[in-house]
Each structure stands twice: as C-alpha cells, then as structure tokens.
Amino acid sequence: MNTGCQPPYCHGTGGWCGCNCNCCPPPCCPIIAVYFECGTACAIITNTCCPSVPNVVFVTFSGATGDCTCLNGLSVTLTYVLASLSWVGTYTACGADSQIALLCGGGSWTLAGGSVPPFGTGGCAFTSGPAIADSCTPLLISFPAFGVATCCTGTIIATVTDTPPMTLNAHVSTKPTWDNLPIQGLPPSEIPEFNPNPILSEDKRFSFGNSPCSVPCETKCVELSCGGFEMPCCCLELLDGKIYSVGNGYVTAAETIVLQEDCGSIGTVLINGQPPPVFVQDCEEIIVTIVPDDPTCCECKQVDVQCAPCNLMASKKPLWKRKVDPRTGKTKLNPNTGKPIIVLDRFELKKRVLARINQLKQRRNKH
C-alpha cells in the first residue's frame, strides 16, 4: 500500500460497513492518461485592436500623390513576428528595398515603414496616423493618406486585409462561369452548426475541432501516477473530467519531455505548474500542462483524460507530415499563408493498410 493511503479521505467512503467514516478511498485509478492535441500553432493572434488576427495579412497602397505613384497598386505580405509583436514584410518599389510593419497599440493600428534592417538605406519612410479597424472579421483596416519620404515624396493611402487583393488576369476567359452555368440541383441551404468540442479518433491518434493546432494534429499522451519519492499519494481520482489526489503524497509523470517529428523537443510536462514529481494534498486538483519550448513551432492543448494507461497507438507516426525541402532540410512554407505545407505520407498509409488487411485475414482464419 502506498504511504499516502492514510484515511480519512475527503472523498472517501465507509467501505463495507457503510458508516460514512471516509476511511476507504473513493473509486480511483493507479494510472491516468492525459491526452493533448499537439501541432503547429494556429494562425491567430489576439490583441487589444482586434480579438483575433491571422498571422499573415496584406497591405495594399493606393491613391498616391507626388512622385509616389510608384507605390500605387502595390501589395505587401506581412507575417507576424513574435519578438516585435507586429506584422512585418519587405518589398521593392520606387527603386528601393523597404520594410513595413503593422503595429497595435492603445487599441488602434499604425503602419510604419523604413529601410530594411540592419544596413538598408533609401527605403520608403513613413508613419501613418492611428486607425481603428473597419472590421475585424474579416479584417479591414483603412489608413487615410499619410506622408512618404526618402524613396519618394508624396502621400499614400493604405488598406490592410486578411486576404490577398484580387488581381486582374491579362486574358479573360469566354467559358461559362459558375454564376451562369446551368446546374440542376437542390436550392441553397444553411450550413449546419457543428459541435465545437474536440473529437478524438478511435485509436486516439488524431484530434479534430476547437484547438490551438492546425490540421492535422498529432495526439500526445502523458501518464500520471502516484510516485516519484518515498511518499507517493494513494491513487488518483477522476471526477467530472478533473483529476484529484487521493491522500497526501507525490504524483509524477512517466515522461517529462514531449517529442514531435520536425520539432524535436516541443515542450515540458508540468503538474500544477511545477516539474514532476509534485507533492499534492488529499482532494487537491491536479492540472497537467505541456509548456512549449517554442510556441511558433508546436503547441499542445488537453483534449481528453482517461482512467487507463496511454493508448500505444497515440505515439505512432502520423499519416500526414510536413513537406521538407531536401536542399535545406527545413519545412516548406506556403508562400500565401506562411503555414507549413502538409502532404500525405503514402508509405505510412500503405504500411497501415497492409497491416489492417493481414489483421482481417487472421481474424477470418480463426473462424
């Protein structure tokens, strides 16, 4: 018996005597599996200017005056930079290489431009006046005319959106379009509402739903148990999706470092905000988190907890993988969204299909 099994217990029972003495532990678990959904951080940044902004936005210039007409129609892709808490992009126009940044401060947006650091010169220098977003979803920020210097002299109007601006094609197709194509079908109907809660696949390998991950996400599992020092807790109680200690003592995790392909070590397991093993009191709630080493690579969110050891399928290689540039060995990014390019691992898919076929054959032969 664990040294932490010392009654009374705050959630205890009277046992076989039914005496309400709290002298027997409540139904509890020797091991609890905590499942996390881990993957590339989603492309949403929260700030005081808008509740949610993609990590890639687009700024388009128009209405230029003076000799700044060289900026008219120019669109620049801005990507969120955590170090500066701003969206930053570079461009070449008016005979100069320039950088532009979108910043949020005091509830209003500002655009600032200049030369490309650290040694650039002659870039388009400007600072817009503060602007409030016309719309946050979809994103639309309109900046009235502001002055531009160095690369040209004049004023310019800027618009920031979360989708790239439409461009006109040089060739206009004469083929029927979707708008005038005669298609027989059912009348349009409203899209049904879906349950926003995360859904785990049967083998607990993948999670889908409301999470901080891009799709696909890989499920990681942390096993909790009493132990770690000479005074482990008695056992762990799972009640209404929450974990509680039964008895005083230490609780620990089987693994304290979480690994993921393409990320290496993506995070450290903490129990109640501390590295395990951690001392807990009887009835104290136990909260497990995975603190990411680099939030720009991978993040983890708890999606399930069970009174059982981790399902071994949870650690298998995912069917989907990030596309890697063979020349650099780095993950390829979509130039339009800035997100990793995801491709199907056909070799892994084939291997699993063959394994499933063999499993079904063996089952059939038994009968």
364 CB contacts (<8 Å, ≥6 apart)?
none
- The pLDDT of residue 355: 66
Report the C-alpha gap between 315 and 313 in whole angstroms. Answer: 5
* In contact, 154 and 65? CB cutoff 8 Å: yes
pTM summary value: 0.43
Q: How far is CA 165 from CA 68, 169, 266, in A?
A: 20, 13, 36
The answer to whether residue 350 scores a pLDDT higher than 60 is yes
Q: How far apart are CA 233 and CA 226, in angstroms?
A: 5
Tens of pLDDT, residue by residue over 142-177, are 999 999 999 999 999 999 998 888 644 434 444 444
Helix ranges restricted to H, the chain: 346-366
Model confidence pLDDT, tens digit, residues 251-309: 999 877 766 554 456 678 899 989 889 999 988 999 998 887 765 556 677 878 888 88
CB 111 within 8 A of CB 100: yes
Predicted pLDDT at 171: 41
What six digits make up the tokens of 115? 């030369």
What sign for the dihedral angle of Cα 287, 292, 295, 299?
negative
C-alpha triplet 80, 85, 91: angle, nearest 5°? 45
361: which 2 tokens? 């054959």
Give the whole-angstrom CA distance, residue 238 versus residue 243. 5
Instruction: Summarize pLDDT for 75-131 with one digit per residue, the tens.
Output: 999 988 876 788 999 999 999 999 999 999 888 999 999 998 888 889 999 999 999
Q: DSSP secondary-structure letter at 13? A: B
Residue with the larger pLDDT of the pair 20 and 182: 20
Taking the CA atoms of residue 46, residue 49, residue 51 and residue 56 in that order, the dihedral angle to the nearest 10 degrees is -60
> Residue 70's pLDDT is what?
94
Q: Which residues pair with 6 in a beta bridge?
A: none
Q: Say if residue 338 is exposed, middle or buried (CB neighbours under 10 Å; 0-12, 13-18, 19+).
A: middle
141 — pLDDT class (breaks 50, 70, 90): very high
Cα–Cα distance for residue pair 42/297, rounded to 1 Å: 10
The chain-wide mean pLDDT, for the chain, equals 75
pLDDT tens for residues 10-50? Answer: 877 766 555 667 778 888 889 999 888 776 544 556 567 88
- Helices H, strands E: what count in the chain? 1, 26
Q: From its phi and psi, is residue 225 left (phi > 0), alpha (psi between -120 and 50) or beta?
A: beta
Q: pLDDT by residue (tens digit) across 231-262?
A: 888 899 988 888 999 989 999 998 777 665 54
- What span, in angstroms and rounded, lies between the C-alpha atoms of 262 and 340? 11
Query: Please, what sign has the CA dihedral across residues 133, 152, 80, 59?
Result: positive
pLDDT band at 212 (very low <50, low <70, confident <90, very high): very low
Give percent above pLDDT 90 in the chain: 27
Q: How far apart are CA 264 and CA 302, in angstroms?
A: 20
How many whole angstroms separate alpha carbon 217 and alpha carbon 293? Answer: 17
| Domain locations along the chain | 26-42+211-316, 45-161, 319-367
pLDDT, residue 18, reads 56
pLDDT at 169: 41
If phi > 0 it is left, if psi is from -120 to 50 it is alpha, else beta; for residue 15 that is left
Q: Which of 21-30, 127-136, 201-210, 358-367 has the highest mean pLDDT?
A: 127-136
Mean pLDDT, residues 344-364? 66
